[in-house]
Amino acid sequence: MAIRPPRSDNGADRRTPGSFRDPSGFVFERDGTLYRQVNRAYQADYDRLVASGLARTLIDDRLVIPYSEVDEPPSEPESAYKILRPERVPFISYPYEWCFGQLKAAALLTLTLQKQALTYGMSLKDASAFNVQFIGSRPIFIDSLSFETHRDGTPWVAYRQFCRNFLAPLALMSLVDVRLNQLMQPSLEGISLELASRLLPWKTRFDPRLLIHLHLHARAEKAYAGQTKTKTKTRAKSKASPGGSSPAFSKHALLGLIDSLEGAIKSLRWSPAGTEWADYYSETNYSTGATGRKVDLVAEFLDRVRPRTVWDLGANTGRYSRLASERGASTVAFDVDPACVERNYRDGLARDEQKILPLWLDLTNPSPALGWAHTERSSLLDRGPVDLSMALALIHHLAISANVPLERIARFLRSTCQSLIIEFVPKQDSQVQRLLASRADVFPDYTSDGFESAFVEHFAIERAEPIIETERTLYLMRARPE
């Protein structure tokens, strides 16, 4: 397909900030539609990807995001080969927001792709965890330009990246502490193998796969850290056979490497138990009647707003998030407890839910903008706003546990949504009493009136319904124009 001349207004294209490292192409947005430009530099690999049938197979199997070639003027005509229109992922999430099960699923997807690619004479040149996204409980690979023609005799280019992005964090989460996936946030290139090797228990050196892929791998990196490329290349050239076709690393060895990594990933496990919130619903102060009333009210409010996108902030294991997702809203269920997120994810997986995405998030320190020029990875607010946010049984944790003034909570929630379902939990409530049991009550404004006066600055209160058998009130609010 011939590339059409550029549009005169292509200056309005918004290039996705994180899409600049790979010379094969980039993603841009035009008139609200997402496109991917394939550059001429990737022409040969792209043609093979399509002609071999690999692209079709991976898309049909829902392993790679579906896309179509379109007759759209390129964003950068001088380097353009094709323009693709990929299906849009409902919500972009990052590995430091995933639970253990999500990261493990993303790792296994990446290895499956590499095995499939090798079957078609291609190979993954990029094994970054950021190339995987979730549509509901299913992981899907979004970078369709990550495949290159496999050159016989060469090892896996993305081996180190895979170990840093998947194996190291999963091993640390499984064998040290599940919260260590947070190391992915300051290290967007993945966790240093040397650091992972140092943090992992000594006994992991007796696991042959972890010994090879993490401990020996870290040592090998260190051993070669001081070598210059010139020295290495000269040495390699002197040893390589004429024509450079020495089968130094057979395809059989490559499949063995992938098989070994797959075994290592599958052997890592983590079970959610024993955290503060994992048993929340069985330890809550709600009676059965109160729970039923709250469910009915949330459902009624959702039916009134009919949101297409929902964030449930402090979702626990997702009971109320599912009221939204079952109504067709693309719902992100955030929680600060990794055990809750894991349980929520496993529930969604068991039911093959496509509309609910559980993610880890500390609302008092939400995911920031990260990477080059602070734009490579978006902050939480950059990924909003949504039609509706829910903050159920959350306000007392923000206002009392985290000392955030009510006005600031209202302002923050306004920046997330157009409509808000929020539960006010007064001081008389036993859960708030627990929070105040060991500290001075320095919250004179934390009253029903104080709550309403703080929120009416940013929202119009549409409904305020008491929840029977409790002291709590459930509000439906509409955002005021900013």
CA dihedral 388, 390, 395, 398 (to 10 degrees): -80
**How many Cβ atoms are within 10 Å of 238's Cβ, its own excluded?**
7
Of 65, 133, 475, nearest in space to 294 by CA:
475
Which of 69, 276, 303, 362 touches other proteins by CB under 8 A? 69
The H or E element containing residue 256 is: helix 251-267
Our finding on whether 254 is near other proteins (CB under 8 A) is: yes
- Residue 78 or 229: the one with the smaller Cβ distance to other proteins is 229
- Give the helix/strand (H/E) hosting 69: strand 67-69
**Total residues contacting other proteins (rule CB under 8 A)?**
73
C-beta closer to other proteins: residue 212 or 290: 212
Stretch that binds other proteins, among 216-224, 296-304, 306-314, 374-382 (CB under 8 A): 216-224
DSSP strand E in 330-416: where? Answer: 330-335, 356-360, 386-391
Task: Determine the Cα–Cα distance for residues 91 and 95; give it in Å rounded to an integer.
Answer: 13
Of 44-52, 290-298, 401-409, 423-431, the segment contacting other proteins by CB under 8 A is 44-52
Residue 250 binds to other proteins (criterion: CB under 8 A):
yes
Indicate which single residue of 33, 68, 403, 428 sits in contact with other proteins (rule: CB under 8 A). 68
Amino acid identity of residue 443, one-letter, is: F
Torsion of CA 73, 74, 75, 79, to 10 degrees: -150
Contact of 409 with 437, CB cutoff 8 Å: no
**Rounded CA separation 355/342 (Å):** 16
* Long-range contacts of the stretch 284-291 (C-beta < 8 A, 24+): 284/393, 284/431, 285/429, 285/430, 285/431, 285/470, 286/469, 286/470, 287/469, 287/470, 289/468, 289/469, 290/467, 290/468, 290/469, 290/470
Among 43, 44, 50, 276, indicate the residue that binds other proteins (CB under 8 A). 50
47: which 2 tokens? 């043609």
Contacts of other proteins in 148-177 (CB under 8 A): 151, 153-161, 163
C-beta of 301: minimal distance to other proteins in Å?
Answer: 37
Q: How far is the CB of 433 from other proteins (least distance, A)?
A: 55
233 binds other proteins (CB under 8 A): yes
In the complex, minimum distance from the CB of residue 53 to other proteins, in angstroms, rounded to a whole number: 3
Our finding on whether 138 is near other proteins (CB under 8 A) is no
89 interacts with other proteins by CB under 8 A: no
**DSSP state letter for 158:** T
CB 215 to other proteins: min, Å: 9
Q: x-or-dash pattern for other proteins, window 3-22, by CB under 8 A? A: ------------------xx
Q: And the tokens for 55?
A: 């692209």
Residue of 5, 8, 11, 71 that binds other proteins (CB under 8 A) = 71
Is residue 36 a contact residue for other proteins (CB under 8 A)?
Answer: no
Under the binding rule (CB under 8 A), the answer on residue 237 touching other proteins is yes
Q: Find the binder of other proteins among 33, 245, 267, 401 (CB under 8 A).
A: 245
Output 182 or 260, the one with its CB closest to other proteins: 260
Query: Among 38, 129, 199, 257, which residue interacts with other proteins (rule: CB under 8 A)?
Result: 257
